[in-house]
Structure 1
C-alpha cells in the first residue's frame, strides 16, 4: 500500500519536481553507500575530463548531472530548478522542458570536455564534472530570453527576468579568471548558451530540440516494441479509430489555443495576458 502511494504521489509531480526527487534520491543513496558500505559509484557516472576515459563511459554525458559534491551544491541547484521549472511549465509542456534541460546538460558537458582538452594547463584543478548546474542554467536562461521583460519577485524587489539571467552569466564569467571551478563555470556557460539559442530560435518558429525529441521517442519505441503483446494491437486500432471522431480534434484545438497565447507573449510580454489566459496556461502546464 505504501509503495502504491509513493508511486501515485510521484506520478502527480511535474517533470521539474520529478527531477528534483531523483537528484535528491541519488544524493542520499550515494551518501549512505559511502557511510555504511564504504562504496562510491560516482566514478562510473561522473563526466571525466579525458576523451579516452569518456569514450569508455559515454553515458556520463547525461548521468553526471544526477550527482552532487555536497549539500550546498545540490540545495542551490534544486532550489533554482524548482522556481525556474514553475515558470517554464506555465508556458510549455514537459517534453520541451526535458529538451531544454538535458540538451543544456549535454552542451555543458561537451564544453567542459573540449575546454579541458584545448586548455589542459589552464583547467588542471578539476578531474571530473558532476552537478545539474548546466541543465538548470539552460532552463533559467531559456525563460529569461523567451520572456525577458517578465518581472519576478527577488526578496523585496520586482526584477525583470533578463536582469536575473545576466547576473548569473556575469558571475560565472567574472569568476573564471580566478581559477575556482573553471570547468564547472564553463559548463554553466555552455548550458546558458543552449538555453538562449533555444529560446530565440523558438520565438522565430524553429524548435531546435525537435531532433532530440525524435531521438528520445525512437529509444522509447525500442523498449515498447520489445514488450508489446499481440492482443494489444487490436485494442490500439479501436482506440485510434475512436480518436479520429473527436479526441485528436480536441487536442489540436487545445494546442492551437496554447500557441496563440505563446505568440501573444512573444509579441507583447507575459503581462499582456488576461487572467483567463494565464489560468489556462497554468492548467495546461500542470496537465502535461
Structure 2
C-alpha cells in the first residue's frame, strides 16, 4: 500500500472530516442518548457575572460572526451545562462550564490538545522503546503539551493514531463500552482474486484464539488477479485483531492502514505528518463518547 513519505514539517492540510448527518450521542456509560440531558431554561442559573458572553465564546470557537452566534442561541441550538439557552447576553465561564451546539461538545479548555498522526510503518506505538526502535516521541515533540497515544497500532501497521493530553477522552475512546468504530484498509496476496465468500465470512464472524471476532462491515476495494484490497470496519480493539481475522482465513496481510476512528478520517495526511483536530471533529468525537 503505497503511502507518501512525510516531510516532518508543520504545514497544515485540509481536513477530510465530513460531519455525520446525525451525531451518535452517548452518555458517560456508553449508552446511546438522543441529546444532551437537561431542560430548557432562561439561562439565569448558568449566568456568571464575571464570565464571557456566550456569543463571543461561540464566535471564537469558529461558529461565525457574533450575529450568527446570536442566531444559534435564539434558535435553541446551544446548551450550557445541559440546559438550552435562548437569551442573549448570558455570560459563562469557559473553563468550568460545558457548551454543546447541535449536540456537539465544544472543547473550550485551551490547555487540552488532540492531534492526528499518520503513523509510519516500523514505528512503535509507545513513548519509549527498550529496543531502540522509532517511537512516538519523535512526533509528540512537535507540541509544547505532553501528549500520549490513544490505543495502539502494531509496529507494521500504518495510519491514524490519536495523540492527546485529555485523559478522560482517551479513556472513553479506548473503553469497549463506547464501541467507537475504526476502519482499516487491508492488502494481501490473492492470486485469482479473493474468495467470493471472504467478505461475508468477515461480517458473519470468525473464531480466534481469544474468542469470536466480527467485522461491522467489509467490502472489496480493488483486485487485479494477484493482490486484493479489502476495507474492514469494526469496533473491537483486541491485539492485532484485523491481522488475525485474515490469518484465520489463510491470508497474511502485506499492508494494513487505519483510515478512520469514529468521525475522524486520515484523509490525505502523509506518513509521519500530524495535524490538530478541528473543533467540529473534536466536538463530534466527544459527543460519541458522552462528553
Same fold (TM over 0.5): no
Q: Greater helix share, 1 or 2?
A: 1
Which is bigger in relative contact order (C-alpha 8 A, separation at least 6)? Answer: 2
TM-score, normalised by the number of residues in structure 2: 0.24
TM-score, scaled relative to structure 1:
0.24
| Structure with the higher fraction of residues in strand conformation | 2
